[in-house]
């Protein structure tokens, strides 16, 4: 249960904090430029973004449940293809975070300046929140135990909401840059695991369809530690490594290369992006206070 709830909690907290942070920056900027009458449009956009995210998540949930009932190779192919498609979207979100996470205040204020109208601010806040909500939905969509994952996500969102309120009222001081860097690293690990899962399910589908024999070299395991404490489902070390690091105890060679190749590449890109100078860095105790 923890292997699904904790990832959901971390993703929900991360994306929730980013959405609440963006809305807070927008509202504070409107106060600074003496346009308080436009704040209601940002609030309406927040509600619309949340509503759109819920609808998007329900659609994905329904499709997943329908395809899962097929069973066998069809279900495995669906899981593989859907996970890969979700990964593409999530990878674009992660890259956006890498480029803009350190200068989010300046970027959001610039967007508000360019969309300084009732309709413009409504659309901007809706899109900003919907982007974070869509990412949550995509991660939940590819979870094995979706209901448990969703419970963790809701808990993470609740924690993020409470923390955002406390920060906004200057009741607590939080170094947001540290939180966002840690959670972004976690998202990268989970995205890599998602790619590995996609490859694993695809190979399993080919085996079920008879296109790959059990002795095919393509199904060769990189290693098999399922009978040790590193078992990702039952092992004392394997279980926490699974939900914290995306560990899998018996990956195929292709699965292993895909997962860790993606993860390593993402961290390298992040390191290169961080070398570039950025304005408005999110390194203060809090940007909402």
Averaged pLDDT of the chain: 86
For the residues 186-190, what does the mean pLDDT come to?
92
Bigger pLDDT: 52 vs 278: 52
What is the rounded CA–CA span in Å between residue 283 and residue 191? 25
For the residues 162-176, what does the mean pLDDT come to?
76
- Check residue 219 and report its DSSP letter: G
At residue 233, the pLDDT reads: 85
At residue 91, the pLDDT reads: 93
CB atoms within 10 A of CB 70: 12
Q: Describe the chain by its helix, strand, coil percentages, rounded to 5.
A: 75, 0, 20
pLDDT classification of 140: cutoffs 50, 70, 90: confident
pTM over 0.85: no
At residue 289, the pLDDT reads: 42
What is the rounded CA–CA span in Å between residue 248 and residue 217? 19
Task: For the chain, give every domain's residue range.
Answer: 2-275
């Amino acid at each position: 249960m923890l292997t699904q709830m904790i990832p959901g909690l971390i993703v929900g907290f991360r994306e929730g904090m980013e959405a609440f942070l963006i809305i807070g920056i927008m509202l504070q900027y409107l106060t600074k430029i003496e346009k308080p009458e436009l704040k209601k449009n940002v609030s309406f956009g927040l509600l619309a973004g949340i509503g759109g995210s819920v609808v998007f998540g329900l659609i994905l949930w329904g499709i997943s449940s329908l395809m899962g009932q097929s069973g066998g190779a069809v279900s495995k192919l669906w899981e593989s293809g859907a996970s890969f498609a979700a990964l593409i979207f999530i990878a674009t979100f992660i890259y956006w975070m890498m480029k803009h996470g350190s200068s989010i205040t300046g970027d959001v204020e610039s967007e508000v300046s360019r969309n300084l109208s009732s309709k413009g601010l409504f659309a901007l806040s809706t899109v900003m929140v919907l982007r974070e909500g869509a990412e949550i939905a995509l991660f939940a969509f590819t979870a094995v135990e979706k209901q448990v994952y969703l419970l963790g996500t809701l808990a993470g969102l609740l924690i993020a909401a409470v923390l955002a309120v406390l920060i906004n009222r200057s009741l607590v001081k939080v170094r947001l840059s540290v939180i966002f860097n840690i959670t972004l690293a976690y998202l990268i690990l989970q995205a890599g695991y998602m790619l590995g899962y996609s490859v694993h399910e695809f190979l399993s589908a080919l085996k079920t369809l008879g296109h790959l024999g059990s002795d095919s070299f393509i199904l060769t395991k990189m290693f098999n530690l399922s009978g040790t404490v590193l078992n990702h489902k039952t092992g004392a070390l394997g279980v926490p490594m699974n939900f914290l690091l995306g560990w899998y105890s018996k990956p195929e060679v292709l699965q292993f290369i895909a997962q860790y190749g993606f993860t390593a590449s993402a961290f390298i890109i992040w390191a290169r992006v961080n070398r570039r100078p950025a304005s408005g860095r999110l390194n203060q105790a809090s940007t909402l206070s």
